[in-house]
Every structure is written in C-alpha cells, then in structure tokens.
Amino acid sequence: MTLKIALIQTNSLVGNISANLNLIVETVTLVRNRSDIDLIVFPELMLVGYPPEDLLFRRDFILTANNVLFELANIAPEIGVVVGFPEFDGENLYNSAVVLSEGSISAVYRKQKLPNYGVFDEMRYFTAGKKPCVFEFKGQFIGLSICEDVWHSDIVQATKDAGAEILLTLNASPFHVGKAEQREALICSHAKTAQLPIVYVNAVGGQDELVFDGASFVANADGKIVFQAAEFIEQIGVVEFENGQFLNLSYPAFQKRNKASTIYNALVCGTRDYVRKNGFKGAILGLSGGIDSALVLAIAVDALGAENVEAVSLPSKYTLEMSNDDAKIQAEIMGVKYHSIPIEPAVKAFTEMLAVTFENTPADTTEENIQARCRGVVLMAMSNKQGKLLLTTGNKSEMSVGYATLYGDMSGGFAPIKDVPKLLVYELTHYRNSISQVIPERVLTRAPSAELSPNQQDSDSLPPYEILDPILARYIEEDQTADEIVAAGFLLEDVMRVISLVDRSEYKRRQSAVGIRISERAFGRDRRYPITSGYRGI
C-alpha cells in the first residue's frame, strides 16, 4: 500500500493562534482536493509559531492552543494531519506533535531533547518527553520526532526499535550560514545508520532576529537526499512511500547552494516578515552613498517592493558630492521615493544652543555625533509620520567595535545587516549586482567613510577590514583569547585594540535595533555579555 505525504513548509505568526489555525485549515482544504494525499505534516509548534518565548507562561494562551485541537480534528477526517502544539496535561507543558485522523487524536508525541544553547532556551518552558511514538497509518508504521530529537542518533534508533518504518520530524530550525548543510549531513547519517527514512519538515519565514529557511527534505534509508524543498519560500511538497520504502518518482534535482545567494535571500525574507508581521506600511532608510546603506536599500526593495520604500539623503558640509550623486542614482535605479534633506540648519542650531556649555573645549567626536543625531531625528520623524519602519544600516563590524552613534545612525527599529561583517557586505553587493546592476560601481570601490569630519575614512579609526573582520570572527564567534588570535598570525597591537573596543561597546549593542541572525554567534540571543563587567581577559 502506498502512502503520500504532504510536507507543509509554511510561515506561521508567533502568538496569533487564530491566524495559524486559519492557515492550517486553508492548507488542509487545499491539499485534500488532491484525493491521493494521505497525510499532511506541519512544522514544529505550528499552532502558536516558533519561538513563542514567555507567551508560554500565559495560561490563557496555552489553554486556547489546546482547545483549538478539537476544532482541527474534524476538518479532514478522511486524511491524517500532524501538527505541532504546546501540550498542557494539567501539570506540565510539552513541546508536542499530535496526529489527527478520523475525527480524533490518534497519537501524541512529546519532544525528548530540549535544546538549551545559542538561541534556544526550551528548558525554561517545557518538560521533556520520555519515550518514542510510533503509530500505524494506512498500513505503515510511522514514528514522530521534533527538531532537536532527530539530531541525536539514540532517538532515531529508539524510534526504529519501536517499530517505525518511516520517521517524520517536525522542525523550526533557524538559519545560519552552513546550517542546512550541517543538518542534512547529520540527519542523512542517522537515517543510514538506523536504515530508517526521515521526512524533515521545516518552518520558513522571519521571526524577530531569527529567520527559518525551510529547505525541507527527505533522506532515504541509505542516507541519500531524495527530495529537497526550496529555501525561504512557502511550499507544499508531496512524497510517496510504499511499505516504508521511498518511491523514486520525478522530483526536482537537488540544487547546490550558493553562499551569497542564500544569505541574501535570508536577509530579504527576514526584512519582509518583520515589516509585514508587525504591520508597518513599508520601510524608510538613510541613503548615504556608502556601501552599507546601498545594500540595505536593495534588500528592502527586494523584500517589500519599490513602492513601499523611501530613501533619504541627509548631507552635511562634510558629505562629498559623489556621495550625494551615488545615493540619488541608486534611488532612481531602484525606483524608490527619494528625498534630500541637508542637516546643516539643524547642526548649526544645536551648535549655537551648546556654544556656552562647550566654551573653551576642543572639538571632538561630540560634534561628529551631533550630526549623526540630527539625521536620526529627521529619519525617525518621517518614520512616525508615515507609519514606515526605519531601517538602520550598520554592519556587524561596526556594531562589534562601537563604530556607530547612539540615537544617531543607530536610530531605527530593524537592522537588516546587523550580523553581516563588512567584507561580507561587499560580497553581497557584488552578488546583488550580478542579478541586475542596482548599486553604482563607485560605491563598491571607494574607501568607506562616515563623512563626519574632513577627509574622514574608516581606516582612520579602525584597522583595515581585511584585518578587523578575521579578528572579530575569532573573538566573537569562536571565543578565542588574545593569545590564540595572535598565534594565528595577527599583530598583538591590533588584537588588543580590537578586543578593547568590542568589550567597551557592549552598552551600545544592548540598545541597538534587532537584526537578522545569519551567524552562529550573533549579538543578542547568542552572545550575552554583561554591560558592567570588571573582567579583562587580555
């Protein structure tokens, strides 16, 4: 007997149980029109979205989610539906998957491995399940697991030993660079060892700083990927089994991933969903003529459409004419509404207001920061007036060392490239231009500058990015010590300087806008350091 399974790679909204319920019902209704579909599988915690965080402490929220299951049971009694939900048994809360068929609940599985590292803190909310779950459906024995479970070979083997012929795993596995390859290699290995086909269904879409890449797949009992869904888009995939064996029908060929393309698509997806899910009318950003804002503008337009994006040039007396020209050229190429608002009147007003207070003091970064803060006031005013989200344009290299102005260029509600190092910014702009030339070539080749003082360049304050970025990667993402970084070939002077800047800038980062996570060690959820700290590990 054959079994056709629909893999629902979909985008839920955290906390909106009714919207997620409607999405499930609409999807089941769509799929059931195909009379040959037997089983429909949704991602982890589909009913409430992932991660619901401290919503899980709200009893009304949990009871609503559990009561909704009874509404789902009868929507398609002739087929099976597998949905992730937070199960409350009157005492404990579990991250669970339920199997609905013939108008009732036929099986429930409770997640056994609760991740408590990086962006995950499931032990804060859930109690771990203790046993495998295998249910019979259409003559085949199917096991269930949830996300972290399938990363552990003992869980896979225990499910096989319990009689499973196929293992379904419901996932909300967030993206970072290399994550898809990592999960595929590990899960294929487990499938081969246990001689058990694994059907991996993953969520897709952005949720605050997290973005879920989808990329659902099927690994056969030989550990080979035999079905692969797309990345970063909602998709319904249909696969077929017979007596526990995957049927090699006509499926799309596996596509080799391109790093720049994958990262760029993640940034577009995360930006689109943050704006859309939070109800903004579009986005606005300061367009300086530099490479960072150029990349953010391209991401915003690709995410939201040119008609929903505005770019604002805010020149000062230090802004070079080519910066003004390049900003205007890119805005015209991308078809966005463009404004040029000189900040000199505001800078002059603040300078005059502070003249007595600043009397007999030398000019320093204070005067530079006044310029950045004038820009922040203008951009936030436009954001407020129009209901559009202000995107900040700082990159990870700048945020790491504090090369940004609080309440100035850090003003805004979302930071698309917050986790993107400067050298990767260049790589992504070249990638985007390879699709269509939207960023002026001069933006890619000129020396980066904040343009807050005469002839200023980033290299006046920072080591060259070819040196800075590798040091930052070692210190922030790999937790290497100064001695280890120096041993890797970097100058002690550069290493000490960079580490000092990173440590001193924690207070700025804590006040920065949320941004899309693309690395395993992003600021915020992953890297959590105290602001007030006497430790000096250098």
Bridge-based pairing state of the strands 104-110 and 93-101: antiparallel
Gap between the Cα atoms of 4 and 370, Å rounded? 63
Asked if residue 392 lies in contact with residue 405, where contact means CB atoms within 8 angstroms, the answer is: no
DSSP 234: -
pLDDT value at residue 480: 95
Asked if residue 269 lies in contact with residue 262, where contact means CB atoms within 8 angstroms, the answer is: no
Bridge-based pairing state of the strands 39-41 and 2-9: parallel
Residue 98: count of CB within 10 angstroms of its CB: 21
DSSP 53: G
DSSP 230: P
pLDDT value at residue 458: 63
Note down pLDDT in tens along the chain; length 538 residues: 789 999 999 999 999 999 999 999 999 989 888 768 999 999 999 999 999 999 999 999 999 999 988 888 888 778 899 999 999 999 999 999 999 988 889 999 999 999 998 899 999 999 999 999 999 998 899 999 999 999 999 999 999 999 999 999 999 999 999 999 999 999 999 999 999 999 999 999 999 999 999 999 999 999 999 999 999 999 999 999 888 788 876 666 667 789 999 999 999 999 999 999 999 999 999 999 999 999 999 999 999 999 999 999 999 888 788 888 899 999 999 999 999 999 999 999 999 999 999 999 999 989 999 999 999 999 999 999 999 999 999 999 999 999 999 999 999 999 999 999 999 999 999 999 999 999 998 888 887 766 666 666 666 678 899 999 999 999 999 999 999 999 999 999 999 999 999 999 999 999 999 999 999 999 988 898 888 888 876 5
Gap between the Cα atoms of 432 and 334, Å rounded? 12
The three-class DSSP label of residue 383 is helix
Tell me how far apart the terminal alpha carbons of the chain are, to the nearest angstrom. 66
Residues that are catalytic: 44, 111, 147
Gap between the Cα atoms of 224 and 370, Å rounded? 58
pLDDT value at residue 454: 67
pLDDT value at residue 469: 96
Bridge-based pairing state of the strands 283-286 and 133-137: unpaired
- CATH of the domain spanning 2-248, picked from 3.30.360.10, 1.20.1250.20, 3.20.20.70, 3.60.110.10: 3.60.110.10
Q: What is the CATH number of domain 262-510?
A: 3.40.50.620
pLDDT value at residue 244: 79
Asked if residue 318 lies in contact with residue 363, where contact means CB atoms within 8 angstroms, the answer is: no
DSSP 363: -
Asked if residue 526 lies in contact with residue 423, where contact means CB atoms within 8 angstroms, the answer is: no
Helix residue ranges per DSSP H, 215-335: 259-277, 291-304, 321-334
The three-class DSSP label of residue 337 is strand
pLDDT value at residue 449: 65
Joined tokens for residue 182: 């990592």
Helix residue ranges per DSSP H, 290-448: 291-304, 321-334, 344-353, 365-386, 396-401, 422-435, 441-445
- Domains 2-248 and 262-510 agree in fold: no
Please state the separation of Cα 232 from the chain's center in Å.
10
**Domain ranges, ordered by start, for the chain:** 2-248, 262-510
Gap between the Cα atoms of 362 and 367, Å rounded? 10
pTM for the predicted model, two decimal places: 0.94
The interaxial angle of helices 422-435 and 465-472, nearest 10 deg, is 110
Joined tokens for residue 297: 């503008």
